[in-house]
Amino acid sequence: MVCTPSNSSEFLGDLENSYQRRLIHFDSGAKVPLLSDHLWIVVRGIVKLSCLNEQGEDILIGLAGANEPFGEPLTHLNLYEATTLDHCDLLGLSMQDVKTNPDLSNSLMKAMMRRTRQSESLIALLGLRGVENRVKSFLELLAEDYGHPCEQGLKLNLRLTHQEIAGAVSTTRVTVTKVLGQLKESGWLQHDNNQRIIVSYLPNPVKYKNIPTQKTSSSR
């Protein structure tokens, strides 16, 4: 997340050092295997958490970023999947590790509180009237949790397809494409040279006022 407390970062570094042999690298787009008695903790990168609906469509149900856990013990969904959205380093821990390490248990509890808030926000935005409001709220949520400040706003260093956004806000890919085009025309949404989304609206400017912005290279 953008504003990860320093003690959380220190904890993650200590955890990586303690369980170095369990750190596994996954390339972008890889399916992460899920085991009934193991958790994954994201050290670097972002993982998409999804499930399949009755029509076989992939529905985004959450994201896990640095210092956030995911795994089969944390879900009751039968068709639950985890897919890396970029190159990721993930730490695999058994439930026994969690039970025998109080510091680990405490930090995971805080991380799960963040994941719960994200899940509630995703559910709440489905009740908004109008697809544009749902798409904007969805992108604002991602920007607040995983965006990086730049001169134009908050940049999402992850790529979601229009179909994935459509699944998250309960609409069609065609409608999402139309709405994103309208948001870009209005200036609310931009793309950098690598087609990364930039949300020009800052949901909470005070939260980011002390974070240095990233300089963006000018278009050639």
Rounded Cα distance between 43 and 25, Å, is: 10
- Do residues 25 and 114 both lie within one domain? yes
pLDDT digits (tens, 9 = 90+) for 82-107: 999 889 999 998 898 888 888 888 88
- Domain closes at, from 84, 101, 125: 125
- Say if pTM beats, i.e. exceeds, 0.85: no
- Do residues 22 and 117 both lie within one domain? yes
- Do residues 13 and 66 both lie within one domain? yes
- Domain closes at, from 74, 106, 125: 125
pLDDT at 201: 57
- Domain closes at, from 64, 99, 125: 125
When divided into structural domains, the chain yields a total of 2
Rounded Cα distance between 40 and 24, Å, is: 10
Count of residues making up the chain: 220
> What is the number of alpha carbons within 13 Å of residue 103 lying toward its C-beta?
8
Q: How are beta strands 88-94 and 38-44 bridged, if at all?
A: antiparallel
Contacts of 206 (CB under 8 A, 6+ apart): none
pLDDT at 59: 84
Mean pLDDT in residue range 115-128: 87
Helix (H) or strand (E) holding 80: strand 80-84
214 compared with 56, residue with greater pLDDT: 56
Contacts of 57 (CB under 8 A, 6+ apart): 167
Owning domain of residue 20: 6-125
